[in-house]
Chain A
C-alpha cells in the first residue's frame, strides 16, 4: 500500500519542519506555498534563536520549549547560527526589582544564566549603554530567518517531499464535513488544479483562520503584527534585551552587518494588509537607543511589519496589545473541535520552536492516519541550505 499523502499548506518555518518530519516518517508530503518559501511571517522575524529567558516569568511553557529547541537546533543545524549569546540588561530600579523573579524563572525553566555586573557586561559587550545597572547572560543566538527553514526544506526534499512554492490554495475539497484535498492555482503558470490528500495540514500562521473557515472550522488566532527596524551596521555583537516584563522596542539583534530593533505589537484582522504605523519607527529608535546608544545615530536600512499568529480566546481582542496572548503553539484536530475530518491546524509558536511544532503536529497526523513511526527530527542533521536549490543532499 502506498504511503498516506499529506498536504501541508504554508511554506514558513512550521511547514518546513513539518514537511521534514513527515518525510522522515515515510509519508508522502506535498507542501504548497502561495509565494516564495518563507515569504509570510517566517522570513520577516528578527532572527533571534530564543534562549527562552524572555518568557521565563510570564509564559514558562514557552520558555521551556525555547531552551529545549535552542539546544536541539544548534545540534541539527550546525553552521546556521551566530553563537553570540545574549544579555538581558537592567536599566532602572524597577528592572532591578524584577531581576530576582527573572533569575528564578530562568532557573525553573532550566535556562542557564550568568549574572554580570555592569562592568563585566560592558567588557563583554562594549556596545551597551553605560547606564546599565546589571546584566544577565543567556544562550541566545542569531539565525538567518530564511536559511534555517531552507535547511529543513532541503532535507525534506532530499527525503522525497514535494515542495511547491508559488502554488496558492484557493479552496478545500470536501466530502460531507471531511476535507479530502485542495484546489490550487499555480502563480507562475496560472494553471488551476486539484490535489487529493488523506489529510490536509493548515500551517499558514496568521492566515490560518481564513483557511480553516473555508472548511467550516474555527481557530482562535489573532494576527498580531509588530514593527521591526533594521539599522545599518553591527552595533552590538551580542543580542541585547531589556530585563523587564516584555515591552516595545526592548531588543537589539545583531544580524551580520545589520542590527534589528524590535518590536511593537498591535492586532489586525487581515495579515496581508500590514502597514508601518506612524510613530513606531521613532519608538524603536528611542527604546533601542536606551539599550545600545549607537542605535540613535544609525542609518535606517528598512522598517517593516510582520504578523505573528498569537493564540488567544476567539474574537474580542480588538485594539490593545497581543503580548498577553500565549507565545506557545497549539495543534488543532478539527475532527475534535469542529467535527471536520482530515484537517489539522498548527499555529502559534515562534521561529525557535518550529521543530517542536512540527513534531507535535506530525504525531497527531500519524495518529490520525494510523502510521506508527517515531519522530526522528531531534537527531537528523539537516542538509545545507544550498541543497534546497541544487537538489543535492549533504
Chain B
C-alpha cells in the first residue's frame, strides 16, 4: 500500500517489545521467570556435570569438594536451586496443561496455586537444608 511504502528508514522504537517490562501482567512475569529459571537450570546442568567430573579424580578431590559445599554460601545456593526447580517444574506443569488446551479458564488460579506450592517447597527445603 502507498502508505506502507513510505517508511523504510524511519527510526523505530528502541527496545524490542518483549524486553520492555512496563505495564505487563502476571502471565508475562510468569513467562519471564520461567525463561530465567530455565536458562539458570541449563547453566546448572553443565556446572553439575563439571562438578561430578571431579569424581573421576578420586576420593580426596570429591570429599574435599563435599566439605566445601557444606559452607553456608553454597547451602544458600542450593536453596535457590530448589526454588528455581520448583518454580520451573510447577509453572511448567501449568503451562503444559493450559498449553494443551486443558483447564484453560483456570490458568490464573493454576498460577497462584503453583506460586503457593513453590513457596511451600522452598520453605521445607530451607528448613531441611539450613537447619
Contacts and interface: CB of A to CB of B under 8 A. Distances in A.
B2 A163 contact: yes
Interface string B3-22: 10011000000000000000
B1 A389 contact: yes
A164 interface: yes
Contacts of B2: 162-164
Nearest to B1: A391
A188 B6 contact: yes
Nearest to A191: B6
Nearest to B3: A165
B1 A188 contact: no
Contacts of A189: 6
B1 A166 contact: no
A27 to B, nearest CB: 18
A196 B1 CA distance: 22
Nearest to B10: A188
Contacts of B1: 157, 388-389, 391
Report, as a range, how many residues of chain B touch the other chain: under 10
A164 B6 CA distance: 11
Contacts of B3: 164-166, 188
Nearest to A189: B6
Of listed B2, B6, B7, residue having the most chain A CB within 10 A? B2
A160 to B, nearest CB: 13
Q: Which of B3, B6, B7 gathers most chain A CB within 10 Å?
A: B3
A388 B6 CA distance: 17
Interface in A174-193: 186, 188-189
B76 to A, nearest CB: 50
A166 B2 CA distance: 11
A351 B111 CA distance: 48
A364 B7 CA distance: 38
B7 to A, nearest CB: 7
Contacts of A162: 2
B52 to A, nearest CB: 56
Nearest to A391: B1
Contacts of A391: 1
Contacts of A165: 3
A302 B56 CA distance: 72
A189 B5 CA distance: 12
Contacts of A388: 1
Nearest to A188: B6
Interface in B1-57: 1-3, 6-7
Contacts of B6: 186, 188-189
Nearest to B7: A188
A37 to B, nearest CB: 10
A28 to B, nearest CB: 15
A234 B70 CA distance: 65
A21 B110 CA distance: 56
A189 B7 CA distance: 9
Interface string A349-393: 000000000000000000000000000000000000000110100
Interface in A142-163: 157, 162-163
Contacts of A186: 6
Interface string A100-142: 0000000000000000000000000000000000000000000
A157 B1 CA distance: 9
A189 B8 CA distance: 12
11 contacts: A162-B2, A163-B2, A164-B2, A164-B3, A165-B3, A186-B6, A188-B3, A188-B7, A189-B6, A388-B1, A389-B1
The 7 closest A-B pairs by CB, nearest first: A391-B1, A165-B3, A164-B2, A188-B6, A189-B6, A389-B1, A163-B2
Given A164-B2, A188-B7, 13 more contacts: A157-B1, A162-B2, A163-B2, A164-B3, A165-B3, A166-B3, A186-B6, A188-B3, A188-B6, A189-B6, A388-B1, A389-B1, A391-B1
